[in-house]
């Protein structure tokens, strides 16, 4: 664990012990006496740092940034150093799943990996991560329980508060403290169509109806950008300039943590990953895609996938026909998830990976096994290729022994790639741990 996490947890534990010897968590925040506004920014987009951060500093406004750990340092997203700058300036860093997962669409175990794994990764980067936002604002009862179990003090949906054109009859603000801390309510997400008057209206409708908590959900901050979910810097600046003086009316701006309260809870790991390939013979499927696999590839090429009975063992195999290609490849790989399907990989150990295959392609096409690993922050990275494979009309097995797994890797994914015109059929994937 990151030293900074240990220090924060120790300080929290000592303070709690001296004040409330029998209390496991800090007391909830007090009930609101006015209107509280929280500016929340989802997804960790780079334009939030470039365009929103300076405006927040100019107006002295704190905010909460909900971040996907797998996107940290990725192109178009904030770097770890930039997130550290935000937190150092008094802003809050919260969790948003490893890879922006639509949680209700996932099994409970994968939800836990996405939610717990994201929080653990952000804690290990040194951030104080106490609150969560559901990607797409979407959650069910399982998702809410997962957010609790993973150590979050609150979790934010989207919706449930009166908004232009929707939620008529809903409340005008969330209560403080919220009735359900793991299903807090908001107006609709801010969009390019959201006007300055509407932003002000979210605040004034709360003020006029007894106060409460108004969480504004913001994604991109950019002028004329190609995104439905965006606010222009000029509109945001005007809103912040209007909002600051309203403290005279009892309206304040706080981070989510400042509203919800609660101690920093210890990190909670998600369930362990499987040791073997799941559904190795491709026998079960959702539609035409074998369970625990994904159709991969990139580049400009024309292709067709088929779930075929021309199998090596069992009833099914998977076939791809590439009929035209400029660049790139097509491949069936073991699913690159947070560990429900992706086999575990232990740093320093080597693995023997196998795939049975057959097909037709020219000698100029270098079909080969492609291998990937997942980092502790949830990023899937290309690792290495196996040797070139020749076309064959009979089933053959390609076996590749990996180099030692890199430090920090957690899972492995692989499949045979066809980088040219031809037909490839694959079946019976295997993985063996060869040790250190």
CA distance 211 to 246: 13
Q: Can you give the residue ranges of every domain in the chain?
A: 29-260, 285-435
Q: What number is the average pLDDT over the span 72-77?
A: 97
Q: Over 70: is that where the pLDDT of 10 sits?
A: no
Query: Between 26 and 196, where is the model more confident?
Result: 196
- What percent of the chain clears pLDDT 90, i.e. is strictly above it? 90
Q: Which tens digit of pLDDT belongs to each residue from 245-274? A: 999 889 999 999 999 999 999 999 999 999
Residue 416, token pair as written in the block: 């045979």
Neighbours of 428 (CB within 10 A): 19
- pLDDT digit string (tens) for 192-209? 999 999 999 999 999 999
Tell me what percent of the chain is helix, strand and coil, each rounded to the nearest 5: 25, 35, 40
User: Cα–Cα distance between 349 and 431 in angstroms, integer?
Assistant: 13
Residue 226: predicted pLDDT? 84
Is the pLDDT reported for residue 218 higher than 60?
yes
Residue partners of 341: CB distance under 8 A and separation at least 6: 274, 278, 279, 291, 292, 293, 334, 335
Q: Using CB atoms within 10 A of its CB, is residue 18 exposed (0-12), middle (13-18) or buried (19+)? A: exposed
Q: pLDDT tens digits, residue range 346-358?
A: 999 999 999 999 9
Tokens representing 141?
A: 């009862």
| Confidence check: pLDDT of 17 > 60 | no
Render 267-330 in DSSP notation, one character per residue. Answer: P---PPPPSS-SSTT---EETTEETTEEEEEESSEEEEEEEES--SSSS-EEEEEEEEESS-EE
Q: Average pLDDT of the chain?
A: 93
* DSSP helix/strand/coil, 259: helix
Q: pTM for the full model?
A: 0.85
Q: Report the C-alpha gap between 43 and 189 in whole angstroms.
A: 13
Query: What confidence score (pLDDT) does residue 224 get?
Result: 87
Q: What is the pLDDT of residues 157-179, one digit of tens each?
A: 999 999 997 898 999 999 999 99
Lowest mean pLDDT among 24-28, 64-68, 319-323, 395-399: 24-28
Say what the alpha-carbon torsion angle 245, 247, 248, 251 is, to the nearest 10 degrees: 120
d(CA 348, CA 436): 6
**In this predicted model, what pLDDT tens digit does every residue of 338-387 receive, in sequence order?**
999 999 999 999 999 999 999 999 999 999 999 999 999 999 999 999 99
As a whole number of angstroms, the distance between CA 73 and CA 51 comes to 18
Provide the pLDDT for residue 33.
66
β-partners of residue 40 are: 64, 217
- Of 224-233, 301-310, 381-390, 427-436, the poorest mean pLDDT is in 224-233
d(CA 155, CA 148): 8
Fold observed for domain 285-435:
Jelly Rolls (2.60.120)
The two three-digit tokens of residue 296, written as one number: 């991969």
Could you read off the pLDDT of 124-148 as tens digits, one per residue? 999 999 999 999 999 999 999 999 9
Judged against a pLDDT cut of 50, whether residue 216 lies above it is answered with yes
Size of the chain in residues? 436
Name the fold adopted by 29-260: TIM Barrel (3.20.20)
95 alpha-carbon distance from chain centroid: 8
Average pLDDT score over residue span 84-101: 98
Q: Is the dihedral of CA 39, 43, 44, 49 positive or negative?
A: negative
pLDDT of residue 8: 37
CA-to-CA distance for 264 and 119, rounded, in angstroms?
A: 12
* pLDDT at 29 > cutoff 70: no
Cβ atoms of 316 and 282 within 8 Å: the answer is yes
Asked if 118 and 95 touch (Cβ cutoff 8 Å), the reply is: yes
């Amino acid at each position: 664990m990151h030293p900074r996490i240990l220090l924060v947890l120790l300080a929290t534990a000592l303070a709690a012990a001296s004040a409330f010897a029998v209390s496991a968590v800090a007391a909830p925040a007090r009930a609101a006496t006015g209107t509280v506004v929280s500016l929340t920014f989802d997804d960790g987009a780079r334009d939030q740092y470039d365009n929103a951060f300076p405006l927040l500093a100019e107006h002295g406004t704190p905010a909460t940034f909900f971040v996907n750990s797998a996107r940290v340092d990725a192109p178009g997203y904030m770097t770890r150093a930039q997130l550290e700058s935000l937190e150092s300036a008094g802003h809050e860093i919260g969790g948003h799943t490893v890879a922006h997962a639509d949680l209700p669409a996932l099994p409970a175990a994968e939800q836990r990996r996405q939610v717990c794994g994201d929080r653990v990764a952000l804690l290990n980067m040194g951030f104080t991560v106490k609150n969560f936002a559901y990607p797409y604002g979407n959650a069910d009862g399982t998702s809410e329980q997962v957010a609790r179990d993973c150590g979050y003090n609150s979790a934010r949906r989207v919706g449930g508060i009166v908004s232009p054109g929707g939620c008529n009859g809903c409340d005008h603000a969330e209560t403080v403290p919220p009735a359900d801390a793991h299903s807090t309510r908001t107006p609709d997400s801010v969009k390019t169509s959201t006007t300055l008057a509407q932003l002000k209206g979210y605040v004034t409708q709360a003020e006029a109806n007894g106060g409460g908590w108004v969480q504004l959900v913001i994604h991109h901050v950019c002028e004329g950008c190609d995104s439905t979910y965006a606010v222009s810097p000029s509109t945001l600046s005007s809103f912040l300039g209007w909002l600051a003086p309203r403290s005279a009316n009892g309206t304040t701006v706080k981070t989510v943590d400042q509203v919800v309260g609660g101690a920093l809870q210890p990190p909670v790991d998600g369930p362990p990953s499987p040791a073997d390939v799941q559904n190795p013979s491709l026998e079960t499927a959702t539609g035409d895609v074998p369970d625990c696999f994904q159709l991969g590839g990139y580049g400009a090429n024309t292709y067709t996938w088929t779930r075929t009975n021309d199998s090596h063992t069992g009833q099914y195999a998977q076939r791809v026909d590439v009929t035209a290609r400029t660049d790139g490849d097509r491949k069936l790989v073991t699913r690159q998830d947070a560990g429900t399907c992706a086999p575990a990989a232990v740093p320093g150990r080597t693995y023997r990976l196998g795939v049975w295959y057959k097909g037709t392609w020219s000698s100029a096409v270098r079909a080969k096994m492609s291998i990937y690993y997942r980092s502790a922050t949830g990023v899937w990275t290309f690792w290495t290729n196996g040797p070139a494979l020749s076309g064959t009309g009979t089933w053959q097995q390609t076996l590749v022994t990996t180099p030692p797994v890199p430090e920090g890797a957690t899972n492995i994914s692989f499949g045979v790639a066809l980088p040219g015109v031809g037909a490839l059929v694959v079946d019976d994937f295997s993985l063996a741990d060869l040790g250190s």
